[in-house]
Amino acid sequence: MKVAVCVKQIPDPADPGAMNPETKTLKRDVKLILDESDSYGVEMALQLVGEDGEVVLISMVPNNERNGLNNALAMGADSAILVSDDALAGSDALSTAKVLAAAIQRTEPDLVLAATESSDGYTGTVPEQVAELLGLPSVTFAKEVTIDSGNVAVKRQTEDGYDEVDCPLPALVSVTAGVVEPRYPSFKGIMAAKSKPVEELTLADLGIETSTVGWAGGRQEIVSIEPAPEREAGEIIEDEGDGHERIVAFLQEMKVI
């Protein structure tokens, strides 16, 4: 059993930075880390393959960054494919999906895992795009995943509960945050990660034209970036045993009670 996990390396969301007004994209000159959303996919893959399976990471960046990949390798993944190319800067979700799909195809996995949405761009469209490009069936928003004789069974989050979905492999599944408890890399894991194979590929290696990705491939333009209208703060009071009375008065004024 071989599972390919898409892992995005992103600027630390605790310090999301700013938009570059010239290029109109997120400034990404900071150190990238493993998107926490993808740590759930890595953990799930490790649990699903058990002892004899194989977990391959797939990541795309414009700048050779490996920090986040190393973290996922230290968790226990076996190897990684890193697609890195200057031309990838500014790629939209569809171009990203084309690159990831081409990289995944080389590994011929039984199952592809991704997060339902990334923490920085959160378009939430890449997994379905990858599945369509690979001609695979897919189940998104998984909160529980089990594999049994060539089938994947998924509990899929819905607006008012969940569906049980069955799907033959190979398939793609996107997992929601919080569904498993991602392990912390052990010291041994961190040391072992250093010697695990990371295959670095360029767009040329994948046979992808640079004009179809990055700025050129987006076919959309940002017209403007403006501050949103701010909401004014109202009255802030210190509770001196009467805080609840103020709330009651407010609710009465709103005719809620």
Partner 1 sequence: MANIWVHAETSGGVVSTITLELLAKARDLGEVTAFHAGADAEQVAAELGAHGATRILTTGDLDNGLPGPALASAVAAKASEESPDAILFGTTYGGRDVAGRLSVKMDAPVITNIVDLLDTDGLTGVEPVFGGTTNVKTRFTGEMPGIFLVRPKSFNAEAAGGDAATVEIMAVPDLGATGLAKVTNRFVEESDGPKLDEAGIVVSGGRGLGEADNFQMIEDLAGKLGGAAGASRAIVDAGWVPYSYQVGQTGKVVKPDVYIAAGISGATQHMVGMKGSKTIIAINKDPEAPIFSIADLGIVGDVHKVLPALLEAIGD
Ligand X SMILES: Cc1cc2nc3c(=O)[nH]c(=O)nc-3n(C[C@H](O)[C@@H](O)[C@@H](O)COP(=O)(O)OP(=O)(O)OC[C@H]3O[C@@H](n4cnc5c(N)ncnc54)[C@H](O)[C@@H]3O)c2cc1C
Stretch 186-215 residues interacting with partner 1 (CB under 8 A): none
Which residues inside 79-118 make contact with partner 1, applying CB under 8 A?
Answer: 92-94, 97, 117
Q: Summarize as ranges the residues that interact with ligand X (CB under 6 A).
A: 6-8, 13, 26, 35, 37-38, 58-60, 91-94, 96, 100, 114-115, 117-127
Rounded to an integer, what distance in angstroms lies between the CA atom of residue 245 and that of residue 4?
56
Q: How far is the CB of 4 from partner 1 (least distance, A)?
A: 17
Residue written as token pair 């960046």: 61
Q: Which is nearer to ligand X, 115 or 142 (CB)?
A: 115
By CB under 8 A, the count of residues binding partner 1 is 77
Q: Which is nearer to ligand X, 122 or 184 (CB)?
A: 122
Is 183 a binder of partner 1 (CB under 8 A)?
Answer: no
What angle, rounded to 10 degrees, do the helices at 93-107 and 126-134 form?
Answer: 50
User: Residue 8: which of partner 1, ligand X, none does it interact with, CB under 5 to 8 A by kind?
Assistant: ligand X
Q: How far is the CB of 193 from partner 1 (least distance, A)?
A: 26
Q: Which is nearer to ligand X, 5 or 74 (CB)?
A: 5
Residue 67: CB atoms within 10 A of its CB come to 11
Q: Which is nearer to ligand X, 61 or 193 (CB)?
A: 61
Q: How far is the CB of 10 from partner 1 (least distance, A)?
A: 14
Of positions 33, 177, 192, 198, contacts partner 1 by CB under 8 A:
177
- Answer whether the bond into residue 170 is a cis peptide, omega within 30°: yes
Rounded to an integer, what distance in angstroms lies between the CA atom of residue 108 and that of residue 93?
22
> Judging by beta carbons within 10 Å of its beta carbon (0-12, 13-18, 19+), is residue 173 exposed, middle or buried?
buried
Is 12 a binder of partner 1 (CB under 8 A)?
Answer: no
Helix (H) or strand (E) holding 81: strand 79-84
For residue 112, list its beta bridge partners. Answer: 4, 172
What is the maximal distance between C-alpha atoms in the chain? Answer: 69
